[in-house]
Structure 1
Amino acid sequence: MAPTHEEMTAPPIPVRPVAIVTGGGQGLGLGSALALAEEGFDLAVIDLAPEADPAVMEGVVARGAAVRYYQLDISDLDRQPEVLRRIREDFGRLDCLVNNAGIAARPLTDILELSPEAFDRSVDVNLRGTFFLTQCFANLLIASGAPEDRVYKSIVIVSSIAAELVSTDRSQYNVTKSALSMVVKLYAQRLAEYDIHVHEVRPGLIATAMTASAGNTIADDWIEGGRVPLARWGQKEDVGQAVATLAAGRLPYMTGQPIWVAGGLNISQAP
Protein backbone atom coordinates (compact mmCIF):
# COMPACT_ATOMS: atom_id res chain seq x y z
CA MET A 1 0.00 0.00 0.00
CA ALA A 2 1.38 3.39 -0.97
CA PRO A 3 2.10 5.71 1.96
CA THR A 4 -0.47 8.31 2.81
CA HIS A 5 0.99 11.76 2.25
CA GLU A 6 -0.29 15.29 2.25
CA GLU A 7 1.51 18.41 1.16
CA MET A 8 1.44 21.95 2.44
CA THR A 9 3.97 24.36 0.99
CA ALA A 10 5.63 27.57 2.09
CA PRO A 11 7.28 30.13 -0.19
CA PRO A 12 10.37 28.60 -1.86
CA ILE A 13 13.68 29.08 -0.06
CA PRO A 14 17.02 28.18 -1.69
CA VAL A 15 18.55 24.86 -0.60
CA ARG A 16 16.42 23.90 2.37
CA PRO A 17 17.63 20.67 3.96
CA VAL A 18 15.07 17.92 4.57
CA ALA A 19 14.55 16.16 7.89
CA ILE A 20 12.46 13.07 8.56
CA VAL A 21 10.92 12.84 12.03
CA THR A 22 9.36 9.57 13.13
CA GLY A 23 6.56 9.90 15.65
CA GLY A 24 6.43 13.52 14.56
CA GLY A 25 2.72 14.00 15.10
CA GLN A 26 2.89 14.47 18.85
CA GLY A 27 5.09 14.79 21.91
CA LEU A 28 8.85 14.89 21.48
CA GLY A 29 8.56 14.25 17.76
CA LEU A 30 6.35 17.27 17.30
CA GLY A 31 8.70 19.38 19.40
CA SER A 32 11.56 18.25 17.18
CA ALA A 33 9.66 18.91 13.96
CA LEU A 34 8.76 22.45 14.99
CA ALA A 35 12.31 23.24 16.10
CA LEU A 36 13.71 21.86 12.86
CA ALA A 37 11.28 23.99 10.86
CA GLU A 38 12.49 27.06 12.72
CA GLU A 39 16.05 25.96 11.97
CA GLY A 40 15.35 26.05 8.23
CA PHE A 41 14.49 22.42 7.46
CA ASP A 42 11.60 21.12 5.40
CA LEU A 43 9.87 18.22 7.13
CA ALA A 44 8.72 14.71 6.36
CA VAL A 45 6.58 13.70 9.33
CA ILE A 46 6.07 9.97 9.92
CA ASP A 47 3.48 8.65 12.34
CA LEU A 48 0.88 5.90 12.87
CA ALA A 49 -2.30 7.83 12.11
CA PRO A 50 -3.83 7.28 8.66
CA GLU A 51 -3.93 11.03 8.03
CA ALA A 52 -2.00 14.05 9.27
CA ASP A 53 -3.26 16.22 12.10
CA PRO A 54 -3.97 19.58 10.38
CA ALA A 55 -2.76 21.47 13.45
CA VAL A 56 0.63 19.77 13.23
CA MET A 57 1.00 20.53 9.53
CA GLU A 58 -0.09 24.14 9.99
CA GLY A 59 2.33 24.58 12.87
CA VAL A 60 5.25 23.48 10.70
CA VAL A 61 4.18 25.66 7.77
CA ALA A 62 3.77 28.66 10.08
CA ARG A 63 7.48 28.35 10.76
CA GLY A 64 8.33 28.70 7.09
CA ALA A 65 8.74 25.05 6.14
CA ALA A 66 7.22 22.71 3.60
CA VAL A 67 5.86 19.53 5.14
CA ARG A 68 4.44 16.20 4.03
CA TYR A 69 2.94 13.44 6.12
CA TYR A 70 3.61 9.70 5.70
CA GLN A 71 1.83 6.92 7.55
CA LEU A 72 4.17 4.18 8.79
CA ASP A 73 4.52 1.82 11.72
CA ILE A 74 8.31 1.66 11.91
CA SER A 75 8.14 -1.97 13.02
CA ASP A 76 6.87 -2.76 9.48
CA LEU A 77 10.29 -3.35 7.94
CA ASP A 78 8.86 -4.23 4.53
CA ARG A 79 7.39 -0.73 4.09
CA GLN A 80 10.37 1.22 5.36
CA PRO A 81 12.27 1.37 2.03
CA GLU A 82 9.10 2.30 0.13
CA VAL A 83 8.34 5.23 2.44
CA LEU A 84 11.90 6.55 2.48
CA ARG A 85 12.15 6.37 -1.30
CA ARG A 86 8.84 8.23 -1.57
CA ILE A 87 10.15 10.97 0.71
CA ARG A 88 13.30 11.33 -1.38
CA GLU A 89 11.23 11.54 -4.56
CA ASP A 90 8.84 14.08 -3.04
CA PHE A 91 11.51 16.40 -1.65
CA GLY A 92 14.37 15.63 -4.02
CA ARG A 93 16.85 15.09 -1.19
CA LEU A 94 17.46 13.64 2.27
CA ASP A 95 19.59 15.23 4.97
CA CYS A 96 18.52 14.19 8.46
CA LEU A 97 16.65 11.34 10.11
CA VAL A 98 15.27 11.86 13.61
CA ASN A 99 14.43 8.46 15.09
CA ASN A 100 11.93 9.48 17.73
CA ALA A 101 9.09 6.95 17.38
CA GLY A 102 8.78 4.49 20.22
CA ILE A 103 6.35 2.93 22.66
CA ALA A 104 6.32 3.13 26.43
CA ALA A 105 6.04 0.18 28.80
CA ARG A 106 2.30 0.08 29.47
CA PRO A 107 0.96 -1.17 31.73
CA LEU A 108 3.87 -0.91 34.13
CA THR A 109 4.79 -4.51 34.91
CA ASP A 110 7.28 -5.99 37.36
CA ILE A 111 10.23 -7.61 35.61
CA LEU A 112 9.35 -10.93 37.25
CA GLU A 113 5.92 -10.87 35.60
CA LEU A 114 6.72 -9.38 32.17
CA SER A 115 5.33 -11.40 29.26
CA PRO A 116 7.36 -12.32 26.18
CA GLU A 117 4.71 -10.61 24.04
CA ALA A 118 5.14 -7.26 25.80
CA PHE A 119 8.92 -7.57 25.60
CA ASP A 120 8.86 -8.46 21.90
CA ARG A 121 6.56 -5.56 21.00
CA SER A 122 8.95 -3.06 22.57
CA VAL A 123 11.90 -4.64 20.77
CA ASP A 124 10.04 -4.60 17.44
CA VAL A 125 9.28 -0.88 17.61
CA ASN A 126 11.90 0.76 19.79
CA LEU A 127 14.93 -1.25 18.72
CA ARG A 128 14.38 -3.34 15.59
CA GLY A 129 12.31 -0.72 13.78
CA THR A 130 14.76 2.06 14.61
CA PHE A 131 17.81 -0.03 13.73
CA PHE A 132 16.61 -0.96 10.26
CA LEU A 133 15.11 2.43 9.43
CA THR A 134 18.53 3.89 10.24
CA GLN A 135 20.18 1.31 8.02
CA CYS A 136 17.84 2.05 5.12
CA PHE A 137 18.28 5.82 5.46
CA ALA A 138 22.06 5.51 5.68
CA ASN A 139 22.22 3.40 2.53
CA LEU A 140 20.11 5.92 0.63
CA LEU A 141 22.46 8.74 1.69
CA ILE A 142 25.53 6.76 0.71
CA ALA A 143 24.04 5.85 -2.67
CA SER A 144 23.30 9.53 -3.31
CA GLY A 145 26.98 10.42 -3.09
CA ALA A 146 28.52 13.57 -1.62
CA PRO A 147 26.19 16.54 -2.17
CA GLU A 148 27.55 19.59 -3.94
CA ASP A 149 25.95 21.88 -1.36
CA ARG A 150 27.78 20.07 1.48
CA VAL A 151 24.74 20.21 3.76
CA TYR A 152 25.43 18.52 7.10
CA LYS A 153 24.09 14.95 7.14
CA SER A 154 22.92 13.42 10.38
CA ILE A 155 20.94 10.76 12.15
CA VAL A 156 19.55 11.57 15.60
CA ILE A 157 18.24 8.78 17.80
CA VAL A 158 16.04 9.82 20.70
CA SER A 159 16.63 7.37 23.52
CA SER A 160 15.82 8.08 27.18
CA ILE A 161 17.27 8.37 30.65
CA ALA A 162 16.04 4.75 30.80
CA ALA A 163 19.13 3.89 28.76
CA GLU A 164 21.04 4.18 32.04
CA LEU A 165 18.63 4.58 34.96
CA VAL A 166 16.95 1.35 36.06
CA SER A 167 13.18 0.94 36.41
CA THR A 168 12.24 -2.67 37.13
CA ASP A 169 8.58 -2.06 36.27
CA ARG A 170 9.47 -1.05 32.70
CA SER A 171 12.35 -3.37 31.99
CA GLN A 172 11.57 -3.83 28.29
CA TYR A 173 11.83 -0.06 27.84
CA ASN A 174 15.17 0.01 29.66
CA VAL A 175 16.52 -2.82 27.52
CA THR A 176 15.51 -1.26 24.20
CA LYS A 177 16.66 2.25 25.09
CA SER A 178 20.03 1.07 26.39
CA ALA A 179 20.48 -0.96 23.21
CA LEU A 180 19.81 2.17 21.15
CA SER A 181 22.86 3.77 22.75
CA MET A 182 24.97 1.02 21.22
CA VAL A 183 23.14 1.41 17.90
CA VAL A 184 24.23 5.07 17.91
CA LYS A 185 27.86 4.11 18.50
CA LEU A 186 27.82 1.41 15.84
CA TYR A 187 26.37 3.63 13.14
CA ALA A 188 28.55 6.57 14.18
CA GLN A 189 31.63 4.41 13.68
CA ARG A 190 30.46 2.93 10.38
CA LEU A 191 29.16 6.13 8.79
CA ALA A 192 31.95 8.50 9.77
CA GLU A 193 33.82 7.83 6.52
CA TYR A 194 30.79 9.19 4.65
CA ASP A 195 30.65 12.31 6.83
CA ILE A 196 27.32 11.24 8.30
CA HIS A 197 27.08 12.15 11.98
CA VAL A 198 25.04 10.00 14.37
CA HIS A 199 23.82 11.44 17.66
CA GLU A 200 21.85 10.32 20.71
CA VAL A 201 19.49 12.57 22.66
CA ARG A 202 18.45 11.31 26.10
CA PRO A 203 15.33 13.07 27.37
CA GLY A 204 14.62 13.07 31.07
CA LEU A 205 11.28 13.83 32.73
CA ILE A 206 9.48 15.50 29.86
CA ALA A 207 5.81 16.51 30.10
CA THR A 208 4.07 14.52 27.35
CA ALA A 209 1.00 12.35 27.04
CA MET A 210 3.28 9.30 27.22
CA THR A 211 4.79 10.25 30.57
CA ALA A 212 1.37 11.23 31.93
CA SER A 213 0.06 7.77 31.07
CA ALA A 214 2.31 6.18 33.71
CA GLY A 215 -0.37 7.01 36.26
CA ASN A 216 1.91 7.67 39.24
CA THR A 217 3.63 10.60 40.97
CA ILE A 218 7.21 9.33 40.91
CA ALA A 219 8.44 12.02 38.50
CA ASP A 220 6.81 14.80 40.54
CA ASP A 221 8.32 13.33 43.70
CA TRP A 222 11.78 13.32 42.13
CA ILE A 223 11.45 16.93 41.00
CA GLU A 224 10.09 18.14 44.33
CA GLY A 225 12.61 16.07 46.28
CA GLY A 226 15.67 17.56 44.57
CA ARG A 227 16.57 14.60 42.36
CA VAL A 228 16.38 16.98 39.36
CA PRO A 229 18.68 20.02 39.92
CA LEU A 230 16.70 22.13 37.43
CA ALA A 231 13.54 21.48 39.39
CA ARG A 232 10.85 21.41 36.73
CA TRP A 233 9.35 19.14 34.13
CA GLY A 234 11.13 19.32 30.81
CA GLN A 235 9.09 20.39 27.79
CA LYS A 236 9.01 19.01 24.27
CA GLU A 237 10.63 22.26 23.12
CA ASP A 238 13.69 21.46 25.28
CA VAL A 239 14.20 18.23 23.38
CA GLY A 240 13.39 19.91 20.06
CA GLN A 241 16.12 22.49 20.57
CA ALA A 242 18.68 19.77 21.24
CA VAL A 243 17.66 17.83 18.15
CA ALA A 244 17.72 20.94 15.94
CA THR A 245 21.14 21.97 17.25
CA LEU A 246 22.57 18.58 16.33
CA ALA A 247 20.82 18.37 12.96
CA ALA A 248 22.05 21.84 12.00
CA GLY A 249 25.65 20.74 12.51
CA ARG A 250 26.41 23.26 15.23
CA LEU A 251 28.41 20.57 17.07
CA PRO A 252 30.42 19.40 14.05
CA TYR A 253 33.24 17.55 15.83
CA MET A 254 30.97 15.15 17.67
CA THR A 255 29.39 11.82 16.82
CA GLY A 256 28.25 8.73 18.72
CA GLN A 257 27.69 10.44 22.07
CA PRO A 258 24.60 10.97 24.24
CA ILE A 259 23.26 14.44 24.93
CA TRP A 260 21.27 14.45 28.17
CA VAL A 261 18.23 16.74 28.17
CA ALA A 262 17.28 15.95 31.72
CA GLY A 263 17.76 19.00 33.93
CA GLY A 264 20.78 17.41 35.62
CA LEU A 265 18.98 14.19 36.58
CA ASN A 266 22.04 12.26 35.39
CA ILE A 267 24.31 13.90 37.98
CA SER A 268 25.26 11.37 40.64
CA GLN A 269 24.39 12.78 44.05
CA ALA A 270 25.98 11.73 47.32
CA PRO A 271 23.57 10.41 49.97
Structure 2
Amino acid sequence: MFRNDMHAATALVTGGRRGIGRAIAIELAKRGYDVAFTDVAVGDDVQETLAEIEALGRRALFVESQLEDVAAHGRALDRVVDWAGAVDCFVNNAGIGSPTRGDLLELTPEAFDAVLGVNLRGTFFMTQAVARHMLATQREGGCARSIISVSSVSAQMASPERAEYCLSKSALPMLTRLFALRLAASGIGVFEVRPGIIRTPMTSAVAQRYEARLEQGLVPMRRWGEASDVAAAVGVLADGSLRFATGSVLNVDGGLSISAL
Protein backbone atom coordinates (compact mmCIF):
# COMPACT_ATOMS: atom_id res chain seq x y z
CA MET A 1 0.00 0.00 0.00
CA PHE A 2 1.20 3.51 -0.80
CA ARG A 3 1.01 6.79 1.07
CA ASN A 4 2.79 10.09 0.80
CA ASP A 5 2.52 13.44 2.51
CA MET A 6 -0.20 14.60 0.13
CA HIS A 7 -2.57 11.66 -0.07
CA ALA A 8 -3.37 8.36 1.56
CA ALA A 9 -4.49 5.64 -0.76
CA THR A 10 -8.27 5.64 -1.01
CA ALA A 11 -10.72 2.76 -0.98
CA LEU A 12 -14.32 2.87 -2.18
CA VAL A 13 -16.66 0.23 -0.73
CA THR A 14 -20.22 -0.18 -1.97
CA GLY A 15 -22.80 -1.13 0.64
CA GLY A 16 -20.47 -0.11 3.45
CA ARG A 17 -22.76 1.12 6.21
CA ARG A 18 -23.13 -2.19 8.07
CA GLY A 19 -22.37 -5.92 8.01
CA ILE A 20 -19.64 -7.17 5.70
CA GLY A 21 -19.29 -3.77 4.03
CA ARG A 22 -18.61 -2.01 7.32
CA ALA A 23 -16.09 -4.67 8.35
CA ILE A 24 -14.27 -4.21 5.04
CA ALA A 25 -14.23 -0.44 5.42
CA ILE A 26 -12.77 -0.75 8.92
CA GLU A 27 -10.17 -3.30 7.81
CA LEU A 28 -8.99 -1.06 4.99
CA ALA A 29 -8.85 1.94 7.34
CA LYS A 30 -6.63 -0.13 9.66
CA ARG A 31 -4.36 -0.73 6.68
CA GLY A 32 -3.99 3.00 6.11
CA TYR A 33 -6.66 3.76 3.53
CA ASP A 34 -8.99 6.70 3.59
CA VAL A 35 -12.37 5.12 2.99
CA ALA A 36 -15.42 6.25 1.05
CA PHE A 37 -18.49 4.06 1.12
CA THR A 38 -21.88 4.06 -0.52
CA ASP A 39 -25.26 2.80 0.58
CA VAL A 40 -28.93 3.35 -0.09
CA ALA A 41 -29.90 4.78 3.30
CA VAL A 42 -28.77 7.46 5.71
CA GLY A 43 -29.03 6.76 9.42
CA ASP A 44 -27.29 5.76 12.62
CA ASP A 45 -25.46 2.90 10.83
CA VAL A 46 -23.78 5.42 8.53
CA GLN A 47 -22.67 7.65 11.40
CA GLU A 48 -21.29 4.68 13.33
CA THR A 49 -19.25 3.52 10.34
CA LEU A 50 -17.91 7.03 9.71
CA ALA A 51 -16.95 7.33 13.37
CA GLU A 52 -15.15 3.97 13.43
CA ILE A 53 -13.07 4.88 10.37
CA GLU A 54 -12.19 8.30 11.76
CA ALA A 55 -11.28 6.80 15.15
CA LEU A 56 -8.52 4.94 13.31
CA GLY A 57 -7.07 8.25 12.12
CA ARG A 58 -8.34 7.94 8.57
CA ARG A 59 -10.67 10.17 6.60
CA ALA A 60 -14.16 8.87 5.83
CA LEU A 61 -16.87 9.82 3.35
CA PHE A 62 -20.40 8.53 2.87
CA VAL A 63 -22.16 8.85 -0.49
CA GLU A 64 -25.83 7.96 -0.70
CA SER A 65 -26.26 5.92 -3.87
CA GLN A 66 -28.45 3.16 -5.27
CA LEU A 67 -26.35 0.65 -7.16
CA GLU A 68 -29.15 -0.26 -9.55
CA ASP A 69 -29.31 3.38 -10.71
CA VAL A 70 -26.61 3.10 -13.35
CA ALA A 71 -27.14 6.69 -14.51
CA ALA A 72 -26.08 7.90 -11.03
CA HIS A 73 -22.79 5.99 -10.92
CA GLY A 74 -20.80 8.81 -12.47
CA ARG A 75 -22.04 11.37 -9.95
CA ALA A 76 -21.22 9.10 -7.02
CA LEU A 77 -17.75 8.37 -8.33
CA ASP A 78 -17.10 12.05 -9.11
CA ARG A 79 -17.91 12.95 -5.52
CA VAL A 80 -15.41 10.41 -4.22
CA VAL A 81 -12.71 11.54 -6.65
CA ASP A 82 -13.29 15.20 -5.77
CA TRP A 83 -12.80 14.25 -2.12
CA ALA A 84 -9.85 11.88 -2.52
CA GLY A 85 -8.14 12.63 -5.82
CA ALA A 86 -8.30 9.01 -6.98
CA VAL A 87 -9.72 5.59 -6.10
CA ASP A 88 -7.02 2.99 -5.53
CA CYS A 89 -9.06 0.09 -4.17
CA PHE A 90 -12.65 -0.59 -5.19
CA VAL A 91 -14.73 -3.19 -3.36
CA ASN A 92 -17.97 -4.42 -4.91
CA ASN A 93 -19.85 -5.39 -1.77
CA ALA A 94 -23.38 -4.04 -2.19
CA GLY A 95 -26.03 -6.59 -2.98
CA ILE A 96 -29.50 -7.78 -2.09
CA GLY A 97 -30.95 -11.18 -1.35
CA SER A 98 -34.04 -12.77 -2.81
CA PRO A 99 -37.16 -10.77 -1.87
CA THR A 100 -38.78 -14.07 -0.88
CA ARG A 101 -37.55 -17.64 -0.82
CA GLY A 102 -39.65 -20.19 -2.63
CA ASP A 103 -40.11 -22.60 -5.50
CA LEU A 104 -38.13 -21.40 -8.53
CA LEU A 105 -41.16 -22.36 -10.63
CA GLU A 106 -42.95 -19.47 -8.92
CA LEU A 107 -40.15 -16.89 -9.39
CA THR A 108 -41.53 -13.66 -10.84
CA PRO A 109 -39.89 -11.45 -13.47
CA GLU A 110 -40.11 -8.55 -11.00
CA ALA A 111 -38.05 -10.36 -8.36
CA PHE A 112 -35.59 -11.58 -10.99
CA ASP A 113 -35.08 -8.09 -12.41
CA ALA A 114 -34.74 -6.49 -8.97
CA VAL A 115 -31.99 -8.85 -7.79
CA LEU A 116 -30.03 -8.95 -11.04
CA GLY A 117 -30.43 -5.19 -11.41
CA VAL A 118 -28.43 -4.66 -8.23
CA ASN A 119 -26.18 -7.70 -7.94
CA LEU A 120 -25.14 -8.00 -11.58
CA ARG A 121 -26.13 -5.03 -13.74
CA GLY A 122 -25.35 -2.40 -11.10
CA THR A 123 -22.15 -4.16 -10.09
CA PHE A 124 -20.93 -4.49 -13.68
CA PHE A 125 -21.47 -0.87 -14.64
CA MET A 126 -20.07 0.54 -11.39
CA THR A 127 -16.97 -1.62 -11.94
CA GLN A 128 -16.76 -0.33 -15.49
CA ALA A 129 -16.88 3.28 -14.27
CA VAL A 130 -14.17 2.69 -11.67
CA ALA A 131 -11.98 0.78 -14.13
CA ARG A 132 -12.12 3.69 -16.58
CA HIS A 133 -11.18 6.06 -13.77
CA MET A 134 -8.25 3.88 -12.69
CA LEU A 135 -6.91 3.69 -16.22
CA ALA A 136 -7.06 7.48 -16.49
CA THR A 137 -5.57 8.19 -13.06
CA GLN A 138 -2.30 7.07 -11.51
CA ARG A 139 -0.87 8.40 -8.26
CA GLU A 140 2.84 9.06 -8.06
CA GLY A 141 4.73 6.33 -6.25
CA GLY A 142 3.10 3.23 -7.70
CA CYS A 143 0.19 2.72 -5.32
CA ALA A 144 -1.26 -0.79 -5.46
CA ARG A 145 -4.61 -0.74 -7.25
CA SER A 146 -7.29 -3.38 -7.01
CA ILE A 147 -10.90 -4.24 -7.75
CA ILE A 148 -12.41 -6.85 -5.45
CA SER A 149 -15.91 -8.30 -5.76
CA VAL A 150 -17.63 -9.92 -2.80
CA SER A 151 -19.79 -12.70 -4.21
CA SER A 152 -21.10 -15.77 -2.36
CA VAL A 153 -20.80 -19.54 -2.22
CA SER A 154 -24.04 -19.27 -4.17
CA ALA A 155 -21.87 -18.49 -7.18
CA GLN A 156 -21.13 -22.22 -7.17
CA MET A 157 -23.62 -23.92 -4.85
CA ALA A 158 -27.26 -24.08 -5.98
CA SER A 159 -30.18 -23.06 -3.74
CA PRO A 160 -33.37 -23.60 -5.77
CA GLU A 161 -35.40 -21.46 -3.35
CA ARG A 162 -33.15 -18.47 -4.16
CA ALA A 163 -32.75 -18.88 -7.91
CA GLU A 164 -32.42 -15.21 -8.82
CA TYR A 165 -29.80 -14.65 -6.11
CA CYS A 166 -27.74 -17.66 -7.23
CA LEU A 167 -27.91 -16.56 -10.86
CA SER A 168 -26.77 -13.05 -9.96
CA LYS A 169 -23.81 -14.31 -7.95
CA SER A 170 -22.82 -16.98 -10.48
CA ALA A 171 -22.02 -14.21 -12.98
CA LEU A 172 -19.48 -12.49 -10.72
CA PRO A 173 -16.67 -15.02 -11.32
CA MET A 174 -16.90 -14.21 -15.03
CA LEU A 175 -17.03 -10.48 -14.26
CA THR A 176 -13.82 -10.93 -12.28
CA ARG A 177 -12.07 -12.82 -15.06
CA LEU A 178 -13.17 -10.34 -17.72
CA PHE A 179 -11.95 -7.28 -15.83
CA ALA A 180 -8.78 -9.11 -14.75
CA LEU A 181 -7.90 -9.69 -18.40
CA ARG A 182 -8.74 -6.14 -19.43
CA LEU A 183 -6.77 -4.49 -16.61
CA ALA A 184 -3.83 -6.87 -16.17
CA ALA A 185 -1.44 -4.92 -18.38
CA SER A 186 -2.09 -1.83 -16.25
CA GLY A 187 -1.15 -3.63 -13.04
CA ILE A 188 -4.64 -3.50 -11.53
CA GLY A 189 -5.41 -6.68 -9.61
CA VAL A 190 -8.96 -7.99 -9.91
CA PHE A 191 -10.24 -10.60 -7.46
CA GLU A 192 -13.34 -12.33 -6.14
CA VAL A 193 -13.93 -13.10 -2.47
CA ARG A 194 -16.57 -15.79 -2.00
CA PRO A 195 -18.11 -15.82 1.51
CA GLY A 196 -20.05 -18.72 2.95
CA ILE A 197 -22.54 -18.51 5.82
CA ILE A 198 -21.69 -15.20 7.44
CA ARG A 199 -23.36 -13.69 10.50
CA THR A 200 -24.78 -10.39 9.17
CA PRO A 201 -28.05 -8.43 9.24
CA MET A 202 -28.91 -10.10 5.91
CA THR A 203 -28.73 -13.61 7.43
CA SER A 204 -30.41 -12.74 10.74
CA ALA A 205 -33.84 -13.81 9.46
CA VAL A 206 -32.62 -17.38 8.85
CA ALA A 207 -30.15 -17.57 11.75
CA GLN A 208 -32.12 -20.15 13.71
CA ARG A 209 -32.30 -22.44 10.70
CA TYR A 210 -28.56 -22.23 10.16
CA GLU A 211 -27.70 -22.72 13.86
CA ALA A 212 -29.06 -26.26 13.76
CA ARG A 213 -27.36 -27.09 10.48
CA LEU A 214 -24.03 -25.71 11.72
CA GLU A 215 -24.23 -28.00 14.74
CA GLN A 216 -24.81 -30.91 12.34
CA GLY A 217 -21.62 -30.09 10.42
CA LEU A 218 -22.92 -28.16 7.41
CA VAL A 219 -19.75 -26.06 7.65
CA PRO A 220 -16.66 -28.19 8.36
CA MET A 221 -15.31 -25.56 10.78
CA ARG A 222 -18.65 -25.79 12.64
CA ARG A 223 -19.13 -22.09 13.19
CA TRP A 224 -20.60 -19.01 11.63
CA GLY A 225 -18.33 -16.94 9.48
CA GLU A 226 -17.93 -13.39 10.74
CA ALA A 227 -17.82 -10.21 8.72
CA SER A 228 -14.25 -9.77 9.92
CA ASP A 229 -13.28 -13.04 8.20
CA VAL A 230 -14.37 -11.62 4.85
CA ALA A 231 -12.76 -8.26 5.57
CA ALA A 232 -9.40 -9.88 6.35
CA ALA A 233 -9.43 -11.58 2.95
CA VAL A 234 -10.22 -8.30 1.18
CA GLY A 235 -7.40 -6.57 3.05
CA VAL A 236 -4.84 -9.11 1.89
CA LEU A 237 -5.95 -8.83 -1.73
CA ALA A 238 -5.98 -5.03 -1.63
CA ASP A 239 -2.40 -4.54 -0.48
CA GLY A 240 -0.81 -5.57 -3.79
CA SER A 241 1.15 -8.54 -2.50
CA LEU A 242 -0.96 -10.99 -4.57
CA ARG A 243 -1.13 -8.88 -7.71
CA PHE A 244 0.21 -11.70 -9.91
CA ALA A 245 -2.77 -13.82 -8.84
CA THR A 246 -5.19 -11.48 -10.62
CA GLY A 247 -8.46 -13.14 -11.60
CA SER A 248 -8.37 -15.50 -8.63
CA VAL A 249 -11.15 -16.49 -6.22
CA LEU A 250 -10.62 -16.68 -2.46
CA ASN A 251 -13.18 -18.82 -0.63
CA VAL A 252 -14.05 -17.61 2.87
CA ASP A 253 -16.51 -20.31 3.89
CA GLY A 254 -14.97 -22.57 6.55
CA GLY A 255 -14.74 -25.41 4.02
CA LEU A 256 -18.44 -25.32 3.07
CA SER A 257 -17.78 -25.45 -0.67
CA ILE A 258 -15.30 -28.34 -0.56
CA SER A 259 -16.76 -31.51 -2.06
CA ALA A 260 -16.29 -34.47 0.29
CA LEU A 261 -17.05 -38.19 -0.01
Tell whether the structures are fold-level matches, with TM greater than 0.5. yes
Instruction: State the match for 1:232 in structure 2.
Output: 223
SS of the residue corresponding to residue 45 of structure 1 reads strand
2:240 pairs with 1:249: yes
Letter in 2 for 1:232: R
2:145 pairs with 1:153: yes
Matched positions, count: 257
2:226 pairs with 1:268: no
Q: Could you tell me how far apart the structure 2 residues matched to 1:61 and 1:35 are?
A: 12
Q: Could you tell me how far apart the structure 1 residues matched to 2:15 and 2:23 are?
A: 10
Task: Verify the 8 A CA contact 1:22 1:101 in the aligned structure 2.
Answer: yes
Unpaired runs of 5+ residues, structure 2, are none
Q: Which segment is superposed worse, 13-22 or 196-205?
A: 13-22
SS of the residue corresponding to residue 19 of structure 1 reads strand
Offset of residue 121 of structure 1: 0.3
Instruction: State the match for 2:78 in structure 1.
Output: 85
2:249 pairs with 1:258: yes
Deviations 1:33-84 (A, max 9, x none): 0100001110001011145722111111112210011000011111101110
- 1:218-229 superposed matches below 5 A: 219-229=210-220
Letter in 2 for 1:127: L
Task: Verify the 8 A CA contact 1:48 1:72 in the aligned structure 2.
Answer: yes
Offset of residue 105 of structure 1: 0.9
- 1:43-122 superposed matches below 5 A: 43-50=35-42, 53-122=46-115
SS of the residue corresponding to residue 98 of structure 1 reads strand
Deviations 1:132-152 (A, max 9, x none): 0000000011112x4321011
2:11 pairs with 1:29: no
2:196 pairs with 1:196: no
Task: Verify the 8 A CA contact 2:25 2:35 in the aligned structure 1.
Answer: yes
Offset of residue 106 of structure 1: 2.6
Task: Verify the 8 A CA contact 2:187 2:243 in the aligned structure 1.
Answer: no
Q: Could you tell me how far apart the structure 1 residues matched to 2:127 and 2:74 are?
A: 11
Letter in 1 for 2:217: G
Letter in 2 for 1:200: E
2:147 pairs with 1:141: no
Task: Verify the 8 A CA contact 1:24 1:32 in the aligned structure 2.
Answer: yes
Q: Could you tell me how far apart the structure 2 residues matched to 1:164 and 1:220 are?
A: 22
| Cα distance change, pair 196–133 in 1 and its aligned pair in 2 (3 A) | same
Unpaired runs of 5+ residues, structure 1, are 1-11
Taking structure 1 as the reference length, the TM-score comes to 0.91
Q: Which has the higher helix share?
A: 2
Q: Could you tell me how far apart the structure 1 residues matched to 2:230 and 2:130 are?
A: 22
Q: What's the C-alpha RMSD, in Å, of the aligned pairs?
A: 1.5
Letter in 2 for 1:260: N
Q: Could you tell me how far apart the structure 2 residues matched to 1:261 and 1:215 are?
A: 18
Deviations 1:187-225 (A, max 9, x none): 0011101111110000101001101123650x2233211
